[in-house]
Structure 1
Amino acid sequence: MSFPLDAMNEMLDRLGSHPFHGDRLPRRVADAQDFAARVPLMRRDDLAREMAKPGHGAFSAPDAVRMNLTPMGSALMPILHTRADLDRATAACRTHLEACGIGPGDVCAVTFGYHLFVAGLFYETQMEAHGVTCLPLGPGEAERTAEICAREGVTVLAGNPTFALRLIEKGMPAPRVFFAGGEPFTGNATLYGRVRAAMPETVLVDSFSLSEFLPVARTFPGGEGVHVFDELVHAEVIDPDTEQPVADGERGELVLTHLAKEAQPLVRYRTGDLTVKRETAPVHGRTVNLPRVVFGRTDGMVKAKGVKLYPSEMRAVLLGLDGLTGRYRLIVARKASGGDHLTLAIEGTPDAGTLEAVRTSFRTQTLVGLDDILVEETLAEGPLAVDER
């Protein structure tokens, strides 16, 4: 397993004097196992508490040059970047732009939002730094945006897939490269298929980032899923219950560590995102892969038939299937024989083919089978999972 030992030890040594991390971290580790055993996990609440203190507490960064905001409950938490942080992220993104054949002479339309949050400005920054002409358009006004893109010869588009489809419908020529974000993309076969049909010759890029970690991973030509920018971030997957690392290919919670961040450095940060990680042969230098990106949250886990089930991952089971609204409930009961009985209640009017697809997708996702599927035209309000045992 690849582990960035030198970069990790350099980071641990640097954080030895950090007011938040200093007393929590060893100065050096021997390998990935030592890192996981000796370095404590960090939760979003830990960061939020510090950021709520005057001057951002232990994460004060007087040399920060950019502040983005991210929702944290009912509040917005600042995300800080120094000049060096932005330069490192831009350099990592440059390797991806080059892999996609993007460079001077291209024209990029950015239709992600710019107000408060990070995506729009993030894409604009990396494109401009790479010599790409950038149109910071933001979302909305599909007809006028499509006209501008057609007039200015846009070759690269960055935005939500559903809005990209509206632009094509309004007459925008298909770009050479499309950066998707903000919605499940490669994990949503229906939406991905619609975009592929609308842009048959376009290089389609799926991306995954958190406001706290930007960027994390992207689709690289010649790879599958998204490949982690491992010069910026170390990715682990843990069992959210035992907090121990799981083997490659097993479902678990994504845990991320900054390798060189100056402002707000985060170490073994629990994202709450459910994913699978695999080591691969190098793809444009990257060997850490999330083949299905993220497909749920780790909240509300129930254990049934010897397997940990996460209610939110049922969305990935139902995504894109005809006749379903997407609303569901997982019900765990006890069989008369003593075993677990699994029922998935779904809302809609599915046909037999869709029901069989639900069964197959559920088994593929969770590795256990459903005992029953309960179909209701209108599903009553309630929790995503009910344990009746």
Structure 2
Amino acid sequence: MLDLLNAQLEKLHAHPFYAGRLPRSVASTAEFAARVPLLSRAEFVAEMARPGYGAFAPQVPPVRVHLTPMGASLVPILHSAADLRAIETACGQHLDACGIGPGDVCMVTFGYHLFVAGLFYQTQMEARGVACIPHGPGETERAAQVARQCGVTVLAGNPSHALKLIEAGCPVPRVFFAGGEPFSGNEALYARVRAAMPGTLLIDSYSLSECLPVARTFPGGSGVHVFDELLYAEVIDPDTGAPLPEGERGELVLTHLQKTLQPLVRYRTGDLTVLERTAPVHGRRVSLPRVVFGRVDAMVKIKGVKVYPSELKSVLLGVSGATGAYRLVVGTKASGGDHLTLRVEGAPTDMDVIAERFKRQTLIHADAIEALDKLGEGPLVEDNRRQTA
């Protein structure tokens, strides 16, 4: 990995955006983290908003331009021919690992309008000799009929929509590529898909439009494994920017290792995850065992532990009776210390599951968990400690 990082540093040393920011080489990944500044999404968006894309002006002609929403802006994501070939090569190795190749028929039910996934899956399949049906989302009955007519063996799409396709008579695929919603992190949805596709190889994935692809399920691995020939992944403390040890949750930071247009170095994704290094799994050694479970947002420290409010969405995924709405209420115990109440909207059937998931996710226990018919308007975190201090 260090060789790949240094090769990229050497290439980008004179890049208009990075000139004066990057060393030519580093002796270790620790030195890389210490000497190379973090890049925020706001900085990236601001540069792309300048005439001609500012310092990210393409140095070779782009052959594909995606437009991705970032805040109030639609930001162009540029790919050169070399960028697309690198993506296709990496994804092709994943398709090989999944036993997908000529003779397979893939139906893509992801969207194609702005949403990058549709064309992304289509091109990687076609590059490996797989017949591809670019159907897009919706029209369930027709899609199921097309899948039967064409003998679909590989399906790529939203898991909830895939379940409807199976109910409508779509053949059970040999391999299913999931995306567009939490999948392996949503135990209930994953179980429903497994029941509907009992013999299917289920692939979860994580990507960003500006970093495509990031990670996927590889046969024999756990979680999703990073395409570390394309990206160097770190996890940092979102508050301090300091690198975190393996196994600690924090913000994912990515560095392109091959991209020629819009190369990003130490790019803050804003996504919360946990990173682990593993024995090689089809050549990849970096895993996100729980994929991504929240966004870096208004962090609050409770009982001495950093809690990110959006990460709690994963606690309620698939819990029967819960609407998914929640609020943390933090107060002070009479004896001192923090008192934490988790309020959940709806009528959840298993509060013990919520309590166990909450502790596993945040590493602290809730002093009380309350179910309310309606939470009403209000913040995700109601911090009353300031009022009692």
TM-score normalised to structure 1 length: 0.98
In 2: Cα distance, 1:276 partner to 1:388 partner: 30
Query: What is the rounded CA distance, in whole Å, between the counterparts of 2:19 and 2:155 in structure 1?
Result: 43
Query: How many angstroms does 1:336 deviate by?
Result: 1.5
Matched, 1:24 2:40: no
State the alpha-carbon separation in 2 of the partners of residues 117 and 360 from structure 1.
Answer: 35
SS in 1 for 2:63: strand
**For residues 314 and 304 of structure 2, what CA distance do their matches in structure 1 show?**
21
Q: Which of 349, 355, 358 in structure 2 is aligned with 1:359? A: 355
CA RMSD of aligned residues (A): 0.7
State the Cα distance separating 1:75 from its structure 2 match: 2.0
2:32 aligned partner: 35
Residue 156 of structure 2 aligns to a residue whose secondary structure is strand
1:286 is matched with which residue? Answer: 284
Equivalent position to 2:69, from 68, 71, 74: 71
Matched residues in 2 for 1:381 and 1:5: separation? 49
Amino acid at match of 2:365: G
- The amino acid across from 1:119 in the alignment is A
Give 2:127's aligned amino acid.
A
Partner of 2:224: 226
SS in 1 for 2:75: strand
Which amino acid in the other structure matches residue 237 of structure 2?
Answer: D
SS in 2 for 1:356: helix
What is the correspondence of 1:180-329 to structure 2 with a 5 Å cutoff?
180-329=178-327
Distance in 1, matches of 2:67 and 2:188, equals 31
Amino acid at match of 1:32: T
Equivalent position to 1:115, from 110, 113, 116: 113
Aligned partner of residue 114 in structure 1, secondary structure: coil
Counterpart in the other structure of 1:378: 374
> Given residue 252 of structure 1, which amino acid in structure 2 is its aligned partner?
G
Deviation at 1:350, TM superposition (A): 2.0
The whole-number CA distance in structure 2 between the counterparts of 1:162 and 1:207 is 15
Q: State the Cα deviation string for residues 197-253 of structure 1 (Å, max 9, x = none).
A: 100011000000000100000000011100000000000000111111111000100
TM superposition shift of 1:74: 2.0
User: Residue in 2 aligned with 1:82?
Assistant: 80
Deviation of the 1:70 alpha carbon? 1.0
Q: Which residue of 2 aligns with 1:7?
A: 4
Structure 2 length-normalised TM: 0.98
* C-alpha distance in 1 between matches for 2:305 and 2:175: 40
State the shift of 1:381 in Å: 1.2
How far off its partner does 1:17 sit?
A: 1.1
Letter paired with 2:364: V
Count how many residue pairs are aligned between Structure 1 and Structure 2. 384
Structure 1 counterpart SS, 2:212: strand
1:368 deviates by: 0.6
1:176 equivalent in structure 2: 174
> Identity rate of aligned residues, in percent?
66
Which structure 1 residue ranges, 5 or more long, are not aligned?
none
CA distance in 2, matches of 1:9, 1:49: 27
How far residue 106 of structure 1 moved from its aligned partner, in angstroms, is 0.2
- Please name the residue that 1:166 is paired with: 164
Structure 2 Cα separation of the partners of residues 131 and 230 of structure 1: 24
What is the rounded CA distance, in whole Å, between the counterparts of 2:97 and 2:116 in structure 1? 23
Counterpart residue identity of residue 375, structure 2: L
SS of corresponding position for 1:17: coil
Q: For residues 272 and 388 of structure 1, what CA distance do their matches in structure 2 show?
A: 27
User: Which consecutive residues of structure 2, in runs of 5 or more, have no partner in the other structure?
Assistant: none
Matches of 1:11 and 1:32 in 2, distance apart?
13
Runs of 4+ residues deviating >2 angstroms? none
1:126-175, Cα deviation, whole Å (9 max, x unpaired):
00000000001111101001000011000000000011011101100100
**In structure 2, what residue type is equivalent to 1:386?**
E
Q: How far does the alpha carbon of each residue in 1:33-86 deviate from its partner, in whole angstroms, 9 at most, with x for none? A: 000000000000011001111111111115111000111112211110000000
Match of 2:151 in 1: 153
What is the SS of the residue equivalent to 1:64?
Answer: coil
- Counterpart Cα distance in 2 of 1:385 and 1:35: 36
Among 340, 343, 352, the alignment partner of 1:342 is 340
1:117: Cα distance to partner? Answer: 2.5
Q: 1:105 aligns with which of 103, 106, 123?
A: 103
Equivalent residues in 2 for 1:45-60, closer than 5 Å: 45-60=42-57
